[in-house]
Chains A and B, each alone.
Chain A
Amino acid sequence: MEYGASVFAMILDWKVLLFLPLGVSAGAIIGAIPGLTITMAISVLLPFTLFLDPLPGLVLIFGIAKGGLFGGSISAILLNVPGTPAAACTMIDGYPLSRKGRALEALDTALFASFIGDFISVLALVLLAGALAQLSLSFGPVELFALIVFSLTVIAAISTSGLLKGITGGALGLLAGTVGLDLVYASERFTFGSPNLFDGIAFMPLLVGLFALPDILLYYFGPRQERSGPGRAPEGGHKRLSMKDFRMVLPTILKGSGIGVLLGAIPGIGGTASTFVSYAEARRTAPDGDDFGKGALSGVAAAESANSGTGASTLIPLLALGIPGDIVGAMLLGAFYFHGLAPGPMLFANNMNFVHALYITLFVSSAILFGVGRYGTRYIQRIVEVPRDVMFPVVIVLTVIGSFAISNSVFDIWVMFVAGLVGIGFRILQIPAAAFLIGFVLSPLLENNMQRVLIIGRGDYTAFFQSWLALVFYAATLLAVFGRILLPAIRARRDQAGGVATNEL
């Protein structure tokens, strides 16, 4: 009883009660604005939170992180500009849905997926932290390499204009991902001597340029027929997600949450890459899998559940082992030490009431996220009704500022414009930009882990197979390649021979 009282005394602090909704709402807004990142917000706020008690400070930071994971999807769905990198995958299906007048349904799906993903993530943190932390340690370079190989199969799945074009896009993405200094020798690749490219092509400018700019550039400078057509998304977009559709996406959400939780617990993968793994898995099994890339609710569900699934699970290695899973975790680690709380097994032994208070506030903030999102989306979705002539200039300003603000770099604005031209080129050639994006995101993970495997194995290629986890991923890859790519292709060929013309290969 006394123990319970001490836990609740911590939670019922007015600062905690104020910061819970404040953090989540602020995070959702910051996440929705391209160029303002969650990391940036937390880095600026962190020094101030150190003067608070540990719990209110952490509540504020977690709230922002959580709200941000959902907020990024709002601009991804409505504007085709992801507010955060982790929302890149949401955009692939979210924006087509919004163009079809189903923006509110897409936002609802994103919200349910974020809420459930977040909830499961907290649940996993509370119940399975120890086990998941141990599991995350078993992911070394070999396992990660195999996992990324599996994730690349999703490129075939979203190649709506033909497998060959999808693979071309993916290969170009992999190639673009190698720009910058190489991991082992720091040799410059495709940098043309410019330090601006040492760290590779900046992700947000590329993303924004590739997806948001082509629409805008074609609208103003394109052929006439691009300018005609509806000036705004079709009416009737006020329909909320139906129960039937919710039931359809629920398995995807649950699976995506699980994937997010697992991958979030492994340092070095991150929210963005885990959305693509979830997307790859959902494409294989979702009922509307054939619509992926053209506006499938399950696509949005897969992406958002996975990125929110990483939300609390990045705390697992932090709390259980003292390993920060990402940059926010690294900042939090400093905050813990500042307050004299050493994460790791000792935290659970010495500060159990603090840990329990933290858990409870994490659950409460999940609920707040749902409330804020449910209420907020009702209004924010009206953005799609704004005419293009008003909307596009605003989006242009947002994208330019967003590209610049990530690292205060004018060069990145040029990156964005070049990416926009490349995006138009992709449209003309019908190369799916999403395939390029996936290749680009996974390229460094694939290459760096391959290099590590070879260094540790001293050049011996059998090193790639000396792990049962890796073998499982390779098997899943083979299944995906045969079951989802080769068999349908052969079947299509046969149909074609039978006189039905298809355009699959």
Chain B
Amino acid sequence: MTIFTKTQWTRRALFAASAVLVAGFGAVGEARANWPEGNLRVIVPYGPGGSSDNVTRAITPALEEILDTNITVENIGGGGGVIGVTRLANSKPDGATFGVVPTATLAIAPHMRQLNYDPIEDIQAVAKVAEGYFALAMRPDFPADTLQGVIDYAKENPGQLTLGSAGVGGITHLVVEVFAKEADIEVQHVPFKGSNEAMNNVMGGHVDGQFDAVMLRQAQSGAVKPIVMLNDQRWDGLPDTPTAKEEGFDGFGTLASWWGVIAPAGTPQEAVDAMSAAVEEALQRPDVQKRLESLGLYGTYLDAGAFGDQIAENYQTYGEILEPLGLSQ
């Protein structure tokens, strides 16, 4: 009992000493040399169980270990992700608040309606975490097997081709519109609530096809017909499915669905760098890689600068795509 009390006191003494030290550092202007100072919070702008939540929970245990701190995951859903990002943008940039967000919240949503944040001015990019595989697959009895075949079908039967998406204004919708524009065909875009509901309709033959990561596993089992991969490389699970570039179709450009860590603008540079380095390290761990793979994603680290450039570039390009569709405000 006495020993217990003793240790407790020693711990308190240590705590007090460190507190004094920290205060001392602060006084000489060496603020946050030992970031993180306390617990961190990570805002996920969607409810539990969605892909952003899954990505977050795939990396946070590793980040907690690497940074030796506690991370609270805060699900602030609603508004198609914009409420959580608004909350993040308005948070104090003290290096304790981060967010994990998908492409749409930064590169698409701000074009579509008046928001309370600017994706470039109010957001500090920290690290790109993952990208999703992206494939076009058609219902099993669709009469064409190749990308050119799909385009020809659409040209021969104007207005007949229907492609599903996970919802208007998402990346799976955007790619449908890019495809229609670049291939110069008419496509009926059928929005669903989420990728899986759309996939169910492709498998049931109610719509013709869908661009999505969820199609890959179904294509493996033969329930849908894979046409092309939109990624730069083929997917190991479907070695015979060509990429769009191999098929000679360059129209998709750098279109990709990604997830990344962001922070409020004005967050101290060392906090950004330390977090970014922690993400890079976490992505090298096999269990994190395996978890991402199980979600249909793969880790693609970019540091704060490069990730910020990608956000800005995507924001620009997607604005140009949305404008003629009447979807931008």
Contacts and interface: CB of A to CB of B under 8 A. Distances in A.
Contacts of B197: 267-268
Interface string B185-221: 0001111111011011101111100000000011011
A130 interface: no
Contact of B192 (A195, A268, A328, A334): A268
Interface string A124-153: 000000000000111111100000000000
Given A323-B200, A452-B190, A346 B57 contact: no
Interface in A329-360: 329-331, 334-338, 342, 344-346
A199 interface: yes
B196 A267 contact: yes
A407 B75 contact: yes
Interface stretch (A14-22, A35-43, A77-85, A289-297): A35-43
A449 to B, nearest CB: 10
Contact of B294 (A202, A334, A455): A334
B61 A47 contact: yes
A323 B57 contact: no
Interface string A305-333: 00000000000010001111101111100
B74 interface: yes
Nearest to B197: A268
Interface stretch (A96-104, A179-187, A209-217): A179-187
Contacts of B115: 195
Given A44-B48, A46-B57, A195 B79 contact: yes
B116 interface: yes
A139 B204 CA distance: 8
Contacts of A185: 168, 326-327
B49 A407 contact: no
A39 B74 CA distance: 14
A139 B201 CA distance: 8
B291 interface: yes
A236 interface: no
Contacts of B83: 195-196, 198, 407, 409
A212 B201 CA distance: 38
A331 B52 CA distance: 12
B177 interface: no
B80 A198 contact: yes
Interface residues of A, number: 59
B169 interface: yes
A270 B83 CA distance: 25
B201 A141 contact: yes
Contacts of B201: 140-141
A323 B202 CA distance: 11
Nearest to A138: B204
Contacts of A139: 204
Contacts of B167: 183
B223 interface: yes
Nearest to B115: A195
Contacts of B290: 338
Contacts of A331: 49, 54
A346 B221 contact: yes
A44 B54 CA distance: 10
Given A322-B217, A334-B54, A345-B221, A408 B76 contact: yes
Given A43-B57, A140-B206, A456-B207, A344 B78 contact: no
A377 interface: no
B6 interface: no
A42 B49 CA distance: 8
Contacts of A325: 196
Among A40, A50, A142, the most chain B Cβ lie within 10 Å of the Cβ of A50
Nearest to A345: B221
A244 interface: no
Given A43-B49, A46-B57, A408 B79 contact: no
Closest 10 CB pairs of A and B: A140-B206, A43-B48, A337-B294, A137-B204, A198-B79, A195-B79, A338-B294, A268-B197, A327-B49, A407-B77
Given A195-B79, A448-B193, 16 more contacts: A137-B204, A141-B201, A202-B78, A322-B221, A323-B196, A323-B200, A327-B50, A334-B294, A337-B295, A342-B220, A344-B223, A346-B221, A407-B76, A409-B76, A456-B162, A458-B159
